[in-house]
Structure 1
Amino acid sequence: MLDEKLNGDMEKTAHTNEEDEYDESEENDPFQKIMERAGNHGRFQLIYNLTFVLGLAAAGSMVYMNVILALDIPDHWCTVPGRELTNYTMDEWRHLTLPMQTDNRGTSKHSRCEMYNANFTEINDWLHWNKSESNVTVCQHGWSYDRTWYEDTITTKEDWVCAKDLYVTNTFVVGRVTEVVGSFVLGQMGDAYGRRIVYYISIAFCALGRSFSIITTNYYWVFLFCTGLTGLAANSLFQAPQIVGMEISREQDRSIIAIYQSIGWSIGTSLMPLLFWWLRDWVVFMWLTTVPTAIILIFFKYVIESPRWLISKHRYRDAITQFKKIAKINGRQFDLTEKELVQLYANKQADEVTYGMASLFSGWHLTRNTSIMGFSWCVVAVSYFTLVLFSTRMGGNPFLNFLLQSVVEIPAYVVARYLGDTYGRRFTNSSSFLLSFLACIPLIILAPDVKYERIMVGLATFIKFLNALTFFMVNLQSMEIYPTCMRQTGIALGTILANAVGIFAPYLVYLGTTVDIRAPYYILGTLFLIGGIGATFLPETLHKKLPDTMEEARHFGKHDKFFSLPKAPPKVAKAPTAEEVHLNQTKFAP
């Protein structure tokens, strides 16, 4: 039988809701009262979050991002036969056989894709040979590549340069397009059929898609298809486990769970460049960064369905099963019956008709929140991919450039969590966007001069730091603003919009590397400014109860003051039980 305290809390909540329309306090969340019985801060949460939130994020980031390094284009030039018959150095030979062209900084350099149209094996008098009288033609004998950093990449193996240089750009675009499709389909599947089935589908698609792409590079269209298969499930691979982890944990642990996934991502993306730098061969590198995602399947014992989602679908018996599974690993007794759970939610949840993503635009307040969140996702995504793709095209060591932009994410997440839990999600999100806008200004001024290369790398790394901070906040806000019945759909909508706009990121990089190096920063700076202003109009989610129904989501943050910081709810003195004292120790924290 339900204990009196739980019933008393529910009656108090109902009374409060009648007076205030919707009480957003976490203290009035009936689901948290139930989760406390099973343990919402115990051993199960620790194992689940370390394995499926942090561990899978590390493995998933590698299978998702490894193709970026494998498709890097080293410096290259036309192979011109005849140097072996002379005493010229490579630089002298290129000066004789290759025309000069202006690069993206306005500097004159040897052409990468053209050569003088002459038979250099038959020239005897090099002193009197006039290069200007020779016609210029495209490379006739293939290309030579700078092997300083790589022994081989996909692009050097298949010669995806010059006339085929858009092969690389289009590969990234296909990945973004399929991510849009996958986010739409799998995101709604997660809310319709559950998080667990989406988890298994995502691992299968990512692992198989990337594995087949490794062995099909000589068949470009097959390679594109396999790359698209990976992109199809890339976003849901991270979303499904994190949503479950957040829904079965305490309110104060939400930001910790978000930081787990973010740090897992950074660990994976930091290991990748170091591994490739050591191996120098793309095939072994790709296999070693793909297999770990499939290995996560051995932990199937701890894969659960979200009991919060099951309750929202009125699958109370299944929810009780999941509660008992959590309680068993947490060392607790869970004696709540299906009948009691039904009674508890009898007056809480009426059947709601939802219309997929269209439901997120029902009512002005929810429409505004959804629109701003969508735009924030777009800015984060296009800036992230532009900075990451651009990092390997900047001067110096491509592995160190990539590593810097990955390692800097870890302190960014720590700072984001502190700021988000102290000053609120809204303030942190907006401030990060506006600082990114300001950092773009000196980049635009200094970019044309190669002597400021190190300063450029430093500023780009600082923007990447802010980008990671903003991503942490946007991801956390998405988890907290949307209702349980539409949570994965809401996040999926954000990633759909993000990847739709993210399609342009490879072309921004192409524009910056072939036309004007400042072009990407003009566009990113404008997006940062608009995003920073827009984020101030989002509701604050710190110390708020997660909305469960569409009605709660429509009123979420409706009465918040624009110029305000979040306040923690007053603490109520409560004597802990012996069981709580034992289980709520730091070593059992998620």
Structure 2
Amino acid sequence: MCGVLIGAIGFGQLADFIGRKKTIFISLFLMIVFGAIVTVAPNYTVFVIARLLVGTTVSGIFLSAFVIGTELTGPDMRTWTATLPHVAFATGYMIYALMAWGIRNWRPLQLTMTLPTVFLLFSWPFLIESPRWLISVDRHDEAAAIVKRIAKFNGVTVPEDVLNYRNEKKKNDRRYTAIDLLRTRNLLIRNLNLFYQWFVTSMVFYGLSLNTSSLPGIDDYVAFFLGGFVEIPGLFSSYYLLDILGRPKCQCLYMTVGGIACIISPFLAPPYVPEHLAPLSIALAMLGKLSISACFNISYIMSAELNPTILRNVAVGAGSMWARIGGVVSPFVVYSKQLWLPLPFAIFGGCAVLAGAIALFLPETMGADLPETTEEAENFGTKRKPRSVYLSDIEKHGEAHQNSAYQEEENAGEKTDDSARDDLSDDTAL
């Protein structure tokens, strides 16, 4: 999890610098190398370091692939293309449970996990770079070529004025980093909210996965498989509801349902209830996993839709970084059952309910165009007209001086009016 955390911010930033496609294939190559090292690790230290490095590559692949899919599609299909990678994730989750059940030795299991990555390297000709990213770095000709390729495949014609479009704004050569996610007021508030959503989602998701052994009457491999299986209905239900209820309301709904299910679940298991009611506890725990899986999907979508193109990959990466912190914390929360058996579920549930409540403060992005610049993202969901968020010291001084001069002029005008009224009063008295 620490490796995935490092990769989330590192490869997320790299993808905004060199592009999404290159980042994916660099990550794929490194995943093969470090995965092979894990397989032949001579001792535990080498194993841990290699696993950490494998974790960094996971972020480079999944986050960049998700962002490409999001940036390639319009508002009407964005929810669908954003949901599909998570369905693939859940499918891999179930397949891994079957692999672990059939391959009990960890070395061949690790090798079996690594081998499919080799075949992904041959997908280079079939994966395209994000045209949005190319335009954001002023590579318009490459973007136009990709749009033509997509149009030809889909059998449509793109208007020439679209292909010949050039952004008339002066190119900004400044490199944007994760700090820019917090540099302006609205982006700061929204991203802090999103970071908490990511943190809670991951903590509960992996916490429930790790805590399946405490569920009564269920084999570890079966519980792990079911944990992946229940994600599928959670993801598909979120796909349908996201374009009906909207993003923040959906997040609130799933977080609240998942949180309440977590809190109640342990109290429906022995010793609190008779043994024959134990399946109710399992069902509620799986309902919590279903709901939290949907929250993962929604957190990805909101992070991508609320942040600008020049920061989108690093925004999703920063959110994923906080998710990994939640993943790192989750085993320790699970371990708190040594103090009181229901305590982990109470912590998971309480944090999820709070996350659901504050999700309602995020602006709605359903059907909206993706923001391209930080200014557009800053003003998204507000009635403010676009303006410079920050003023330099000279501008601040000039504005203050202008306001001071205007105030003096206004005061002088008032004095003149007062003098005129005094003169008029004198004339009237005479």
Q: Residue 381 of structure 2 corresponds to which residue in structure 1?
A: 557
The answer to whether structure 1 residue 409 and structure 2 residue 231 are counterparts is yes
Candidates 114, 118, 128, aligned match of 1:290: 114
- Could you tell me whether the CA contact under 8 Å between 1:205 and 1:232 is conserved in 2? no
- Could you tell me whether the CA contact under 8 Å between 1:357 and 1:490 is conserved in 2? yes
Q: Partner of 1:289: helix, strand, or coil?
A: helix
- Could you tell me whether the CA contact under 8 Å between 1:547 and 1:553 is conserved in 2? yes
Q: 1:9-20 to 2 correspondence within 5 Å?
A: none
Q: 1:88-487 to 2 correspondence within 5 Å?
A: 176-216=1-41, 218-332=42-156, 336=160, 340-342=164-166, 345-347=167-169, 351=172, 353=174, 355-392=176-213, 394-395=215-216, 396-447=218-269, 449=271, 451=275, 453-487=278-312
Aligned identity (percent) is 27
- Could you tell me whether the CA contact under 8 Å between 1:448 and 1:518 is conserved in 2? no
Shift of 1:447: 4.8
In structure 2, give the amino acid aligned to 1:551.
Answer: E
Change (3 A) 1:381 1:423: same
Q: Deviations over 1:180-226 (max 9, x none)?
A: 2211211111111111111012212323322321221x500000011
Q: Deviations over 1:53-85 (max 9, x none)?
A: xxxxxxxxxxxxxxxxxxxxxxxxxxxxxxxxx
- Whole-Å separation in 1 of the counterparts to 2:262 and 2:161: 58
- Whole-Å separation in 1 of the counterparts to 2:206 and 2:4: 13
Candidates 343, 350, 372, aligned match of 1:526: 350
Q: Deviations over 1:80-124 (max 9, x none)?
A: xxxxxxxxxxxxxxxxxxxxxxxxxxxxxxxxxxxxxxxxxxxxx
Candidates 537, 544, 562, aligned match of 2:368: 544
- Whole-Å separation in 1 of the counterparts to 2:286 and 2:298: 19
Change (3 A) 1:487 1:442: same
Q: Partner of 1:497: helix, strand, or coil?
A: helix
Shift of 1:322: 2.3
- Whole-Å separation in 1 of the counterparts to 2:168 and 2:153: 29
Shift of 1:235: 1.9
Q: Residue 417 of structure 2 corresponds to which residue in structure 1?
A: none
Shift of 1:283: 3.6
Shift of 1:352: 7.1
- Could you tell me whether the CA contact under 8 Å between 2:231 and 2:294 is conserved in 1? yes
- Whole-Å separation in 2 of the counterparts to 1:194 and 1:373: 24
Q: Deviations over 1:452-498 (max 9, x none)?
A: 54332221111000001111111111111111110001111111122
- Whole-Å separation in 1 of the counterparts to 2:64 and 2:356: 28
Shift of 1:354: 5.4
- Whole-Å separation in 2 of the counterparts to 1:509 and 1:201: 35
Shift of 1:506: 1.9
- Whole-Å separation in 2 of the counterparts to 1:301 and 1:234: 21
- Larger % of helix: which? 2
In structure 1, give the amino acid aligned to 2:61.
Answer: L
- Whole-Å separation in 2 of the counterparts to 1:497 and 1:443: 26
Shift of 1:393: 5.2
Candidates 501, 506, 514, aligned match of 2:326: 501
Change (3 A) 1:475 1:462: same
Shift of 1:559: 4.3
Change (3 A) 1:361 1:273: same
- Whole-Å separation in 2 of the counterparts to 1:204 and 1:394: 39
- Could you tell me whether the CA contact under 8 Å between 1:316 and 1:338 is conserved in 2? no
Q: Residue 387 of structure 2 corresponds to which residue in structure 1?
A: none
- TM-score, scaled relative to structure 1: 0.61
Q: Partner of 2:165: helix, strand, or coil?
A: helix
In structure 2, give the amino acid aligned to 1:230.
Answer: V
- Could you tell me whether the CA contact under 8 Å between 1:401 and 1:457 is conserved in 2? no
Shift of 1:425: 0.8
- Whole-Å separation in 2 of the counterparts to 1:429 and 1:488: 21
- Whole-Å separation in 2 of the counterparts to 1:423 and 1:381: 23
Shift of 1:443: 2.4
In structure 2, give the amino acid aligned to 1:346.
Answer: E
- Could you tell me whether the CA contact under 8 Å between 2:16 and 2:311 is conserved in 1? yes
- Could you tell me whether the CA contact under 8 Å between 2:270 and 2:278 is conserved in 1? no
Q: Partner of 1:545: helix, strand, or coil?
A: coil
- Could you tell me whether the CA contact under 8 Å between 2:176 and 2:311 is conserved in 1? no
Shift of 1:392: 4.2
- Whole-Å separation in 2 of the counterparts to 1:455 and 1:311: 53
Structure 1 gap segments, 5+ residues each: 1-175, 561-590
- Whole-Å separation in 1 of the counterparts to 2:383 and 2:204: 33
In structure 1, give the amino acid aligned to 2:378.
Answer: R
- Could you tell me whether the CA contact under 8 Å between 2:187 and 2:377 is conserved in 1? yes
Structure 2 gap segments, 5+ residues each: 385-430
Change (3 A) 1:352 1:555: farther
Q: Deviations over 1:528-577 (max 9, x none)?
A: 122011100001010111000000000111249xxxxxxxxxxxxxxxxx
Shift of 1:291: 1.5
In structure 2, give the amino acid aligned to 1:209.
Answer: F
- Could you tell me whether the CA contact under 8 Å between 1:447 and 1:518 is conserved in 2? no
- Whole-Å separation in 2 of the counterparts to 1:332 and 1:423: 32
- Stretch deviating more after TM superposition (468-477 or 313-322): 313-322
- Whole-Å separation in 2 of the counterparts to 1:291 and 1:331: 36
- Stretch deviating more after TM superposition (383-392 or 416-425): 383-392
In structure 1, give the amino acid aligned to 2:354.
Answer: I
The alignment covers a number of residue pairs equal to 380
- Could you tell me whether the CA contact under 8 Å between 2:83 and 2:239 is conserved in 1? yes
Q: Residue 405 of structure 2 corresponds to which residue in structure 1?
A: none
- Could you tell me whether the CA contact under 8 Å between 1:448 and 1:517 is conserved in 2? no
Shift of 1:293: 2.4
Q: Deviations over 1:145-165 (max 9, x none)?
A: xxxxxxxxxxxxxxxxxxxxx
- Could you tell me whether the CA contact under 8 Å between 2:252 and 2:360 is conserved in 1? yes
